Amino acid sequence: MTRKRVGILISGRGSNMSTLIEAARSPDYPAEIVGVLSNRAAAPGLATAAAEGIATASLAQSKFPTRDMFEDVMTQTLESWDVDIVCLAGFMRILGDDFVHHWAGRMINIHPSLLPLYKGLHTHERALADGARVHGCTVHFVTPGLDEGAAILQAEVPVLPGDTADSLAARVLIEEHRIYPEALRLLASGKIAAP
């Protein structure tokens, strides 16, 4: 089995990144994590990845004259790691069309809602404000429209009486950590492909 080489893009804590690293420790997992790139040098996930012996890089968009130039250097960095698949894991930047097209079919994201519900930010607050009974998370292919690509896996959680955005987020995060490694397994092993 040739393992697919995966680069992860983060902006912060990196708990989803950690679950992908953990899954890839298993020799029969079809992917290995070869690099982690952050747009924030202070992202705690960078230190976690470095401690695992994984290559890391941080690139501040503000240092580049345009978003396209920033994203070109992101692609160069990912290609210097020989990446086959890109996983967005709490990467808090909207990506431009050129970058998205370059990685089309090879880039996936975890989003904390049952897409197509609640695209964008503050998903837990919005689900609570709507009185939703069910909430959850989605792993999907990344396409130019924000949070619009085809879903690979979803998981539902109940919204419980007394839930706050934090308690609901914590319940959803448990499911994120379950489905993200599973979705990457499906893509890396060729069991699914972008439509």
CA distances from 116 to 27, 58, 136, 168 (A): 35, 31, 11, 18
Q: H or E segment at 58?
A: strand 55-58
Q: Please tell me which residue in 111, 124, 135, 140 is annotated as part of the active site.
A: 111
| Region near ligand GRF per CB under 6 A, out of 23-31, 68-76, 108-116, 160-168 | 108-116
Among 3, 13, 67, 126, binds ligand GRF (CB under 6 A): 13
Give yes or no for a cis peptide into 116 (omega within 30° of 0): yes
For this structure, is 111 an active site residue? yes
Site membership for ligand GRF, residue 111 (CB under 6 A): yes
For ligand GRF, the nearest residue by Cβ is 90
| Region near ligand GRF per CB under 6 A, out of 8-16, 26-34, 51-59, 156-164 | 8-16
Site membership for ligand GRF, residue 14 (CB under 6 A): yes
Closest CA to 52 of 82, 19, 10: 19
- Please say which residue, 15 or 167, places its beta carbon nearer to ligand GRF: 15
Instruction: Give me the phi and psi of 112, to 5 degrees please.
Output: -85, 60
Site membership for ligand GRF, residue 12 (CB under 6 A): yes
Residue type, position 51, single letter: A
Residue in the structure block whose two tokens are 């009486």: 161
Q: Tell me the sheet residues that pair with 33.
A: 6
CB of residue 18 to ligand GRF, shortest distance in Å: 8
- Positions touching ligand GRF (CB under 6 A) are 10, 12-17, 89-90, 110-112, 173, 176
